[in-house]
Amino acid sequence: MKAREAQGDGNLAVALNESALYSGSAIGASIGGLALAMQVPLDMLSVGAGVVALVGMVTYLSK
């Protein structure tokens, strides 16, 4: 029992990771659906995805 306490609870980390993945997927689908409902041109959707990827890359590299 003491060894587990020293290493932390891996189940919690996995659960939080899965929650973040599902939340991100749901938010992305909602934003994409809203953009389509607003009749945003399809070319702009790919530009928006590129912007999100760029923001993620900059955030990752700034650490």
Using CA atoms, how far residue 30 sits from 5, 8, 11, in Å, is 39, 35, 29
For the chain, give the percent of residues with pLDDT over 70: 87
Mean pLDDT for the stretch of residues 18-40: 93
> Domain count of the chain?
1
Give the DSSP letter string of 29-53.
HHHHHHHHHTT--HHHHHHHHHHHH
Q: What is the extent of the structural domain holding 7? A: 2-61
Mean pLDDT for the stretch of residues 11-33: 92
Say whether pLDDT at 13 is over 70: yes
User: How much is the mean pLDDT over the chain?
Assistant: 87
Indicate the pLDDT class of residue 7, thresholds 50, 70 and 90.
low
Using CA atoms, how far residue 31 sits from 18, 28, 39, 57, in Å, is 20, 5, 12, 20
